[in-house]
Structure 1
Amino acid sequence: MLRWLTAGESHGSSLIALLDGVPAGIALTTEDLRAHLARRRLGHGRGARQKFEQDVVRIVSGVRHGVTMGSPIAVEIANSEWPKWEKVMAADPVDREDLLVDAGTGDEREIARNRPLTRPRPGHADLAGMIKYGLEEARPVLERASARETAARVVAGAIAAALLEQTAGIRLVSHSLAVGPVRVPDGTPLPTPEDVAALDADPLRCFDPATSAAMVAEVDACQKDGDTLGGVVEVLAYGVPVGLGSHTQWDRRLDGRLAQAVMSIQAMKGVEIGDGFAQAASRGSAAHDEILPAGAGDPGATGGPVPTTRASNRAGGIEGGISNGQVLRVRGALKPISTVPRALRTVDVASGEAMTANHQRSDVCAVAPAAVIAEAVVALVLADALLEKSGGDSVPEIRRNLGR
């Protein structure tokens, strides 16, 4: 069983990723984690924050000389901007007078950091969180609800991805299917693990060059209008064996576990497995993946009493909550970023007056990094399901149990 948690605030001293259950023998270095975090920072339409906030990574425990030990792994991602926020986010009490002056720079923005945030932003957790926790301002809510937390998820997912590849040969790919109204045409070939470098180099992580150019133009037009964009991302998992997950209980179904993980990403509002939403509009005769006898050497053949293959993969590699040996496909729909430069209407909870919402630095479009984040959480779910299926406390034992 693989368990994982994150801790930390957006402007706190650091974020923490904690994983328990990672087997011994996984090759892993700090540089591996840095590389995954660098992918999260990419994408046309990102805000200025990505340029000056650096991810300072430190493996605290669970790894020795580049190899996991089987003990819990803790990773710290330090906040390079912490000196600017040390008073605002201090764990211990701070004199009120210290919150009414700048940090010695003569910069009025320093004072603004200390002011109570009493104008909740529509689309954020601000107001609901303030009511739930009995808070007079939004700072304690937005600091944890911020998408900055996903840096810790990406680190955790990088460890899970290493586990998947090194024990079972499972490799993941993520890409953008849509940005606002611009969508990759139906029938476009899916990217493979060999295409990851090209996807990382694309401004919006799109595998179709013409669509990518149209996406860039849409982001630029949206930025000019002072607005934000959402989109759709897809994660593909190649080499997933038959039998991950189960039909026997609701919480063991692989599709349900994947949907919960992807939906938990900040700003996600919809998840589908395979062609889920399109299947809802089609007839059964055109919706399901017919089973055919597998020919000799068929690369898509699955084991069992009789080798079989499929005529299609509309189910996205999962049937009845169980992986069926085909390429696993999970999609997530990302709403437009809630911090809109136009400043949406809200209420100042301190005065009760109608106001416009607080506006802080934000992205115009975060679809490209959302794909990388979705890849990370899919890796975590698959790694947990793989360990559930295979058992084993070390890489050799897991490989033996999988017959590799």
Structure 2
Amino acid sequence: MRYYTAGESHGQGLVAIIEGVPAGLKVSEEQINIDLARRQSGYGRGGRQKIERDTVQVISGIRFGRTMGSPVAMIVKNRDWENWTDRMAPFGEAPLDLVREVTPRPGHADLVGALKTNTDDCRNILERSSARTTAPRVAAAGIAREFLAELGVDIFSYVVSIGSVSMREENPYMNAAQYTPLAIETSEVRCPDAEATEAMKREIDRAIKTKDSLGGTFRVVVRGLLPGVGDYAVPTERLTSTIGGALFSIPAIKGVEFGMGFECARRPGSQVHDPIELDRANAKFTRTSNNAGGLEGGMTTGMPLVVTAAMKPIPTLMQPLQTVNLDTLEVAQASKERSDVCAVPAAAVVAEGEVAFALADAYMRKFGSDNMADIKAAIKAYKQRLNTMSR
């Protein structure tokens, strides 16, 4: 299962096409719209969220709420398009009063994209590299999430830190799966630590006053995974590779850790690797710790998958940094776009979808992809074999 997207931040809409979708999968339009709303929420979001009220329109691949086995196509329309019809028109001449974007923002794709594509208007770059283009990703991910949910796999995320403020956690790689997603969603920054939530909000308020922006870290947790999903023989199909690549495809993500992550490099092996034991009551192998974050050798261990990602501060600043004007080649201030101060909670929702796609694809590589009945039968047989091996 994979997806493609098209569309610009201020274009008519954002399109997603998902292919490799098995037939017979029940899909909820309401749940996709809930996830789209989650992507737009969070303390520190900007004015664009007051304009857009994202909803999905499915135009192919689903009939009476179930997939048909053909590609699924969907669109998320941009309400702001009506304010940009002259500046983003697909055809015709550019308006005489068109203001080109010639002062690229440090930290954004503006300058290097302009150099790559030989344009003197950064608008051509920033429209596609905008975080707004993650909306169709979240919509598309609704298919992957429904697929995994039907197989007993659920995904959620929470914010670990914003700026210099971090939540307090003891052994998060074992305990992260115990958090209640509902409690996370009621937090304004989607952090399960109430005290840290208030401190994060104060940190965002300070950034608003100083016309700055903030990044942070978030954690994606997946429960209910079978062991042995993924691959060790083909490097590009290791889940560390596919999930890592998927997360790095999200704008502003600068670091990804599986389980203990970089801390592994500072500890001896006896404090890193997860001892194996046999759970005789349930006839399965398990681990006494989860420092690996649910992956070994590029495959799932059966423990919860725990992935932490770091997001850099948003590059659009209301007090801009120095840049160079592309017309005059003189020193200038970077351009200002309507933007967020902090979008870490929103990025976490996008990350859930990316992880879901990587896992859904790995499940179908192992258990088939034609239809849900055959996939479930293959999984049932696999579970029976695992039980036999662990007796």
Question: What's the TM-score, normalizing by structure 2?
Answer: 0.94
Query: 1:85 offset after TM fit, Å?
Result: 0.9
What aligned pairs does 1:102-141 form with structure 2 within 5 A after superposition?
A: 114-141=98-125
User: Which sections of structure 2, spanning at least 5 residues, go unmatched?
Assistant: 384-391
* Match in the other structure for 1:48: 47
Query: 1:43 offset after TM fit, Å?
Result: 0.3
CA deviations on 1:177-229 (whole Å, 9 max, x unpaired) are 11111112230764548722221211101011111111111111111111111
Query: Are 2:286 and 2:302, in contact at CA under 8 Å, matched by a contact in 1?
Result: no
Query: 1:62 offset after TM fit, Å?
Result: 0.4
Query: 1:93 offset after TM fit, Å?
Result: 2.1
Question: What's the TM-score, normalizing by structure 1?
Answer: 0.91
Aligned pair in 2 of structure 1 residues 204, 99: CA closer, same or farther (>3 Å)?
farther
For the residue of structure 1 that corresponds to 2:56, the secondary structure is: strand
Q: CA RMSD in A?
A: 1.4
* Match in the other structure for 2:211: 226
Alpha-carbon distance in structure 1 between the residues aligned to 2:42 and 2:263: 28
* Match in the other structure for 2:302: 325
Alpha-carbon distance in structure 1 between the residues aligned to 2:178 and 2:78: 32
Alpha-carbon distance in structure 1 between the residues aligned to 2:147 and 2:371: 10
Alpha-carbon distance in structure 2 between the residues aligned to 1:309 and 1:38: 37
* Match in the other structure for 1:249: 234
Paired positions, count: 379
* Match in the other structure for 1:211: 196
Give percent identity, aligned residues only. 42
Counterpart pick for 1:165 among 149, 156, 161: 149
Counterpart pick for 2:162 among 168, 179, 190: 179
Query: Are 1:157 and 1:380, in contact at CA under 8 Å, matched by a contact in 2?
Result: yes
* Match in the other structure for 1:10: 9
* Match in the other structure for 1:300: none
Query: Are 1:233 and 1:371, in contact at CA under 8 Å, matched by a contact in 2?
Result: yes
Query: Are 1:182 and 1:214, in contact at CA under 8 Å, matched by a contact in 2?
Result: yes
CA deviations on 1:151-183 (whole Å, 9 max, x unpaired) are 0110111110000111x2100011111111111
CA deviations on 1:324-380 (whole Å, 9 max, x unpaired) are 111001111000110111100000010011000001111111010011010010001
Query: Are 1:171 and 1:193, in contact at CA under 8 Å, matched by a contact in 2?
Result: no
Alpha-carbon distance in structure 2 between the residues aligned to 1:392 and 1:227: 47
* Match in the other structure for 1:235: 220
Alpha-carbon distance in structure 2 between the residues aligned to 1:150 and 1:78: 13
What aligned pairs does 1:334-353 form with structure 2 within 5 A after superposition?
A: 334-353=311-330
CA deviations on 1:231-280 (whole Å, 9 max, x unpaired) are 01111110111111111021011111100000110000011111111111
CA deviations on 1:108-143 (whole Å, 9 max, x unpaired) are xxxxxx300000000000000000011111011000
What aligned pairs does 1:5-404 form with structure 2 within 5 A after superposition?
A: 5-94=4-93, 96=94, 98-100=95-97, 114-166=98-150, 168-187=151-170, 190=175, 192=177, 195-297=180-282, 307-403=284-380
Alpha-carbon distance in structure 1 between the residues aligned to 2:179 and 2:143: 20
